[in-house]
Amino acid sequence: MTARTTAGTTTRAGARAKVEKTDILFAVMGAPHASDQTTTLLRLIQATSDAGGRVGVWTCGYATMLTQASLGETKPRNVLDWRGHYPSTAAIIGGLLAEHGESVHWSACRFCGEERGVTEHIPAVRVRAPFAFADHVRAATKTMFLGVI
Amino acid sequence: MTRALAIVENGHRGAVETQFADVFYLVRELNRQLGQLDVLLRGAAVVCALRPPEAHGGGDGPGAGPTPASRLALGSGVIPLPDVAASVEDLLGDGMAVAVDREDLAAIAVPAGRLISGVAVTRGDPARWLDYDGVWFL
């Protein structure tokens, strides 16, 4: 599968990837579009990072779709604002990670993504096996869950 | 022409994801394609028919709080977010009848003058559904 080869790091059975220490891990379980969870998440990431904190993000379920590469750079055109610029969530998160790459790390659950057809993420996102989740929790001082699968 | 009642119970879903393509964008398009749509805002969605507090001088009560920003500054970028009050005015501008549920509006103690002019306050009970060809929960 493409997802196994395009992730920044690939875990293999028996070889656990290194997980950066973080001050807070956001475990994002709820689906995008259903609530303002994603908006809240991005605000929390920015606020934590601006305060000098280290942030980890782990997406499960439909939240893995936020960073799928097939979203491209922009949303479909707004027929009521033909010249408007509306970035995709993949582009928004890619920009965030480009600006805060040292302090913000974004991982996506491989199982959840593949179960929902997310075969390729943007390059800054690491695809991790479900059993690596506990490593991310242990590497964080606090873990906050957002939504449910 | 199909006459339908569109019922919206939550107007704030995925601001960053939708940016412009929120439930009211869908309502406008359905109205354009199918004919006359009436819109009923009930539950938490009644707040969508409120003007921003700065537009009327503020006030007290739960309904006097600020409306969500219509832009999100994130890093060096600015992301446009839905402006639901402007969207409700667009619905009215398109000729749609927009109403809010009386009891749900009362529950949030909205200061006088906060409701967007042209929005009706009605009983949102199912008895009215018989007047329509369709009732759509959006």
Residues of B in contact with A80 (CB under 8 A): 20, 25, 28
Give dist(CA A4, CA A9) in Å, integer: 9
Is the Cβ–Cβ distance between B38 and B91 less than 8 Å? Answer: no
Question: Are B13 and A33 in contact (CB < 8 Å)?
Answer: yes
Is the Cβ–Cβ distance between A22 and A56 less than 8 Å? Answer: yes
Give dist(CA A22, CA A142) in Å, integer: 8
Residues of B in contact with A95 (CB under 8 A): 74-77
Is residue B93 scored above 50 in pLDDT?
yes
Residues of B in contact with A33 (CB under 8 A): 13-14, 17-18
Among A36, A80, A99, the residue with its CB nearest the CB of B15 is A36
pLDDT for residue A8? 37
Distance from CA of B130 to the nearest CA of A (A): 29
Give dist(CA B2, CA B35) in Å, integer: 6
Q: Does B14 touch chain A (CB under 8 A)?
A: yes
Question: Are A86 and B25 in contact (CB < 8 Å)?
Answer: no
Percent of chain B exceeding pLDDT 90 equals 67
Give dist(CA A58, CA A130) in Å, integer: 10
pLDDT for residue B61? 55
B27, two tokens: 């309502």
What ipTM, to 2 d.p.? 0.85
A97, two tokens: 């990670």
Please give the residue of chain B at the shortest CA–CA distance from A87. Answer: B79
How many residue contacts between A and B have a Cβ separation below 8 Å?
64
B30, two tokens: 């359905």
Q: How far is CA A4 from CA A108, A118, A126, A133, in A?
A: 12, 11, 10, 17
Distance from CA of B17 to the nearest CA of A (A): 6
Please give the residue of chain A at the shortest CA–CA distance from B80. Answer: A86
How is chain B classified by DSSP, letter by letter? ---EEEEES---S-HHHHTT-SHHHHHHHHHHHHS-EEEEE-GGGGGGGBPPGGGTT--SSGGGSPPPPSEEEETTEEEE---HHHHHHHHHHTT-EEEEEHHHHHHTTPPTT-BPTT-EEE---GGGGGGSSEEEE-
Name B6's bridge partners: B39, B136
Residue A132: CB atoms within 10 A of its CB come to 18
What type of residue is B111?
A: P
Is the Cβ–Cβ distance between A26 and A44 less than 8 Å? Answer: yes
pLDDT for residue A29? 97
Whole-prediction pTM: 0.87
Give dist(CA A30, CA B14) in Å, integer: 11
Block mean pLDDT (10 aa), chain A, length 149: 38 66 98 95 94 97 97 95 95 94 95 95 97 97 96
pLDDT for residue B2? 74
Is residue B108 scored above 90 in pLDDT?
no
Phi, psi of A123 (to 5 degrees): -60, -30
Q: Does B106 touch chain A (CB under 8 A)?
A: no
pLDDT for residue A19? 93
Please give the residue of chain A at the shortest CA–CA distance from B22. Answer: A33
Question: Are B14 and A99 in contact (CB < 8 Å)?
Answer: no
